[in-house]
Structure 1
């Protein structure tokens, strides 16, 4: 009997459990495999991302790409139709259920329902599944497999370990943890809400990406009327997703052309060549040359840019953003074909602008932000230089290029860190010290991208990972559609290894 341990019960954990169940049962392995599933929260399916009950915390991807099954991306949209569809308060946006952006808690309900469904199926078919409410904080690899240890010191043995750890906290600004008016992470939202019960003046938010936008939604949804300042080194806000993207034609930046580049030059595609192809496609779709320097948004007026983006989103979006979205399924393939050095170079040169175009905010939330900016309630301040605590006044001082700002409440919404050593996760820290996982230069851990097996000195051959933990070597690891596709690869490899062990 082989035991598979799944660590984490969020979206990735649910997806890998269901895919393993389907493979185990369909391949007549029910009596040869057991599963132990660990989740520190009370309920399976929600995790940090989809357990938030804030109505302004919306999915950043439309419903028809959020199915939890690898070969059924529209499953969530179909589920939504059966469960009230556009009539529900949690469903935002125009158009059909397929194009809707729902509250994250609704997606959490969907995941929880699927998890319960297949746990019951496991009982019915006789597959041994033990769902344990515990947090795994450490493990070791031995000749016999893996020994996991939870927060209470209890140990568990398994043959395979699958890490589905979800979104890690950043460990930046740790020096402020001792101050009552500092919040180190926007989720869960309860610490922010509790602070609003007192008399809070200005609120400062570190960051202006999707995490910061969720923070603003929390503040407004709970009646905060004061000033909100978003501080960022570059001042780049995510662009706005239209209800439906205008069609674009890609003639240059294609998988075929990337492969032809390799045949012609006998080397992998580089950052400059990719950007050249991208520019050609944008200009082809616009029918004119573009002044690319003028499109650099770093430090530009966020209000004017947001207003422009909202207007363009209302008519299907612009070529720059629509081209990025048209690369949804090809970008990961191209990324995996690049050298490590070129990945690092891409992230340094183009990463911030790629991120805001490829991972935009829902139009519904963009309009709310624009309203706050028009009322002079919300402001984005670029060129963040220094943050310190002013003990005499009991305020935080944030120095930027233009001047120094004072805020009463400071919230760290800088987003999840990419490097392993910057992830504020006890388990990651412990296994990193033991060389059970190995850092990848562009972020995350080294992984066999064909199988999702982690590759490190002391990893063994039964350790796998999904999601943010492998964010550097792979792209789109925070997207459900991408993760469920990699779940398919991972589960195939695990079952293959089990079958090989049975033969030998």
Structure 2
């Protein structure tokens, strides 16, 4: 009997257990496979991402792409039609349920419910599922190729395969401020953020992306009256996601054309070629040439740009944003075709502009941000280059290259999830990194076999798998649930294959 452990019970860990149970039942493996879910919280399905009780923390993807089942993307929208009306305050959209942007907590309720129902199905079909409320902090490989998981309770669990689903990794940067009572190292859980800030504090927020926006929304939702200043290297806000986009039909930047390019030119897609094809598609749809330098938002006044984005989002989006969203199902394939050198160039030249376009603010929250900026309650400052704490004034000083020096009472690190393994504040990840069970990818996350999701390392990762943000460097869309459940389906199929064949055909 093979025993499979899933470490982490957030959306990815829950999706993995759900898919593994479904495949085990259909393959009639009740006598050959069992599962153990290790999650430190009482309830699984939520994690940091979908456990927030702040109703303004909403999904930035519409409901009909958020199904927890790999081949049923519209399942959440269907669930919402049956269950969403009793949570109507959690649905922040004027559209129907298919296009709704719900609170993350409501989505967490959905995932948790699907997990509980699937575990009940497992019991009825005699598939063993054990749940352990504990934290895994280390793994040893045994001589019999099994894995020994060490838990904080000092108990151990011996298994055949391990799936790592640690969720949103807190960054371990700015460690010099770790013990400072005026510093909040992560916006989640929101309880810590609210306990450590007073309503009249001038709060500085490091970052201007979705994590930073969530931080602002948390403060405002809970009656914060003091000023809030966001600091980031570029000062760029994400663009605004329409409730319903108009769609975009690409003619040039397609998988077929890129494959033809590989055949004809004998090299993998290059960053410059991708950008040229992107331009060609947008200009063909526009019917004229465009001044692409004017689209550079680096260090520009964010309010006029935000107001423009809100206006176009209300009309279904512009060609630039619709083009980017039309690529959602192809970006991971294109990314996998690129060489590491070209991936690094893309990240350096276009990465941030791609991110703010592809991972946009829901319209509901964008309007609230614009109001705060107009009222002077919120300010966004680019080019921050030095942060220090002034003991004599009991405040933080942030030096910037554009508008000088700022002093804030409290400082929140909302720069987003840690990208590199060594920057992840996670004991298990750090221990596996030290043992070389995980190998860092140059762009971020761990090196994996993208077909099976197995971790590839010097110490051999045949029995360790990774999903979600843990593998952010090799996979492009790890922030998207629909993408993660697809990779999880491949991973589950690999484990089921190994179970049914014992490694032999």
The alignment partner of 1:35 has SS state of strand
Instruction: Show the counterpart of 1:417.
Output: 418
Once the two structures are TM-superposed, the CA of residue 142 in structure 1 deviates from its matched residue by: 2.3
Q: Deviations over 1:417-441 (max 9, x none)?
A: 2111111111111000111010111
The alignment partner of 1:410 has SS state of strand
Q: Distance in 2 between matches of 1:229 and 1:491?
A: 44
Cα 1:491–1:199 change in 2 (3 A) is closer
Q: Counterparts of 1:259-278 in structure 2 under 5 Å? A: 259-278=259-278
Instruction: Show the counterpart of 2:99.
Output: 99
Once the two structures are TM-superposed, the CA of residue 502 in structure 1 deviates from its matched residue by: 7.6
The alignment partner of 1:231 has SS state of strand
Q: Distance in 2 between matches of 1:298 and 1:348?
A: 14
Instruction: Show the counterpart of 2:456.
Output: 455
Q: Counterparts of 1:171-190 in structure 2 under 5 Å? A: 171-190=172-191
CA contact (8 A) 2:235 2:302 kept: yes
Instruction: Show the counterpart of 2:31.
Output: 31
Instruction: Show the counterpart of 2:153.
Output: 152
Instruction: Show the counterpart of 2:22.
Output: 22
Q: Distance in 1 between matches of 2:69 and 2:62?
A: 16
Q: Distance in 1 between matches of 2:143 and 2:501?
A: 17
CA contact (8 A) 1:141 1:459 kept: no
Cα 1:259–1:397 change in 2 (3 A) is same
CA contact (8 A) 1:200 1:409 kept: no
The alignment partner of 1:92 has SS state of coil
Q: Distance in 2 between matches of 1:14 and 1:20?
A: 10
The alignment partner of 1:101 has SS state of coil
Q: What is the TM-score when the length of structure 1 is the normalising length?
A: 0.98
Instruction: Show the counterpart of 1:308.
Output: 308
Q: Counterparts of 1:122-271 in structure 2 under 5 Å? A: 122-144=122-144, 145-196=146-197, 198=198, 200-271=200-271
CA contact (8 A) 1:86 1:96 kept: no
Q: Distance in 2 between matches of 1:5 and 1:384?
A: 43
CA contact (8 A) 1:85 1:97 kept: no
Q: Distance in 2 between matches of 1:87 and 1:132?
A: 30
Instruction: Show the counterpart of 1:373.
Output: 373
Instruction: Show the counterpart of 2:475.
Output: 474
Q: Deviations over 1:313-365 (max 9, x none)?
A: 11111111110000000111111111111111111111000000000010000
Mean Cα displacement is larger for which, 199-208 or 17-26?
Answer: 199-208
1:344 aligns with 2:306: no
Mean Cα displacement is larger for which, 378-387 or 80-89?
Answer: 80-89
Instruction: Show the counterpart of 2:492.
Output: 491
Once the two structures are TM-superposed, the CA of residue 503 in structure 1 deviates from its matched residue by: 5.9
Let me know the Cα RMSD of the aligned residues.
1.2
Q: What is the TM-score when the length of structure 2 is the normalising length?
A: 0.98
Q: Distance in 1 between matches of 2:373 and 2:395?
A: 23
Q: Distance in 2 between matches of 1:159 and 1:108?
A: 29
Give 5+ residue unaligned stretches, structure 1.
Answer: none
Once the two structures are TM-superposed, the CA of residue 459 in structure 1 deviates from its matched residue by: 3.3
Q: Distance in 1 between matches of 2:320 and 2:86?
A: 30
CA contact (8 A) 1:86 1:92 kept: no
Once the two structures are TM-superposed, the CA of residue 487 in structure 1 deviates from its matched residue by: 0.8
Q: Distance in 2 between matches of 1:502 and 1:321?
A: 45
Once the two structures are TM-superposed, the CA of residue 56 in structure 1 deviates from its matched residue by: 0.8
CA contact (8 A) 1:141 1:460 kept: no
In the comparison of the two structures, how many residue pairs are matched? 503
The ranges of structure 1 where at least 4 consecutive aligned residues each deviate by more than 3 angstroms after the TM superposition are: 84-87
Give 5+ residue unaligned stretches, structure 2.
Answer: none
